[in-house]
Amino acid sequence: MMKIYSPKKFKIISLLILIFLLLSALLPAQVIQKLKDLRTGNSFPFDFTISGTKLFFIANDDINVGLWITNGTTAGTIKLTPTTGPANTSFDIAAYNDKVYFSYNDGVNGYEMWVSDGTVAGTVLFKDLYTGSNNAYPRYFTVANNKLFFVADDASGAQHLFVSDGTAAGTVVIKNYATLFNGLTTFAILNNDIYFTGDDGTGVGYGLWKSNGSLAGTVLLRPNISSSSGANYTVLGNTLFFDSNDGINGSELWTTDGTPAGTNMVINLRADGGGIMYSGAPFNFITYNSKVYFTASDDAHGAELFSSDGTAAGTQIVKDIQPGAEGSIPQQSVIYNGNLYFSCYNGAATGLWKSDGTAAGTVLIKQGGGGDPFLRDTRFAPVFNSKLYFIVNDMQFYPLWETDGSVAGTKPATFQNTASPAFSTPVLGDFSFTLYNNELYFGGKCGTISPDIEPCKITTGVLPVTWLGLQAQWENTTTAKISWQVANQINVKDYTVQHSTDAIHFTNACVVNASANTNYFCNIPTDNINTHYYKIKQQDADGNPHYSNTVVLKEAPQKLMVAYPNPATDKLYVQGLTAVANIKITDAAGKEIRNLILKNTTDFIDVSRLGSGTYFARILTKDNTQTITFIKK
164 falls within a domain: no
Q: Which residues lie closer than 8 Å to 545 by C-beta, 6 or more apart?
A: 33, 34, 74, 537, 538, 539
374 falls within a domain: no
576 falls within a domain: yes
Query: Are 576 and 560 a contacting pair, CB within 8 Å?
Result: yes
Three-class secondary structure of residue 399 per DSSP:
strand
pLDDT in tens, 600-614: 767 888 888 888 888
494 falls within a domain: yes
262 falls within a domain: yes
256 and 296 housed in the same domain: yes
- Looking at 204-208, 377-381, 460-464, 497-501, which range is the least confident one? 460-464
Residue 26 DSSP symbol: H
590 and 521 housed in the same domain: no
From the CA atom positions of the chain, what is the Rg in Å? 31
283 and 300 housed in the same domain: yes
Give the domain-ending residue among 329, 360, 387: 329
Top mean-pLDDT range of 83-92, 390-399, 575-584, 607-616: 607-616
Give the domain-ending residue among 553, 572, 595: 553
Q: Of 399, 292, 304, 372, nearest to 335 (Cα)?
A: 292
**Containing domain of residue 598, as a range?**
562-632
Instruction: Give the separation between CA 87 and CA 384, rounded to whole angstroms.
Output: 34
pLDDT in tens, 222-279: 998 887 555 689 999 999 999 988 888 888 999 999 999 999 999 999 886 544 556 8
Max Cα-Cα span within the chain: 103
44 falls within a domain: no
548 and 569 housed in the same domain: no
**Which tops the pLDDT comparison, 50 or 466?**
50
Q: How many structural domains compose the chain?
A: 3
578 falls within a domain: yes
Residue 502: per-residue pLDDT: 84
Query: Are 603 and 588 a contacting pair, CB within 8 Å?
Result: no
Query: Are 29 and 461 a contacting pair, CB within 8 Å?
Result: yes
600 and 545 housed in the same domain: no
512 and 568 housed in the same domain: no
**Which tops the pLDDT comparison, 134 or 77?**
77
Task: Kindly report the CATH number assigned to the domain that includes residue 571.
Answer: 2.60.40.3080
Give the domain-ending residue among 492, 525, 553: 553
Residue 282's pLDDT band, with cuts at 50, 70 and 90, is: very high
41 falls within a domain: no
471 and 548 housed in the same domain: yes
Residue 347 DSSP symbol: T
- Residue 19, φ and ψ in degrees, nearest 5: -60, -40
Sheet hosting strand 581-587, strand order edge to edge: 592-598, 581-587, 613-620, 625-632
pTM over 0.85: no
Instruction: Give the separation between CA 177 and CA 371, rounded to whole angstroms.
Output: 46
Cis peptide before 399 (omega within 30 of 0): no
Q: Per-residue pLDDT for 154 more than 50?
A: yes
Residue 10: per-residue pLDDT: 38
pLDDT in tens, 294-336: 999 998 899 999 999 999 999 999 999 998 888 898 988 999 9
Q: Of 82, 57, 55, 54, nearest to 67 (Cα)?
A: 57
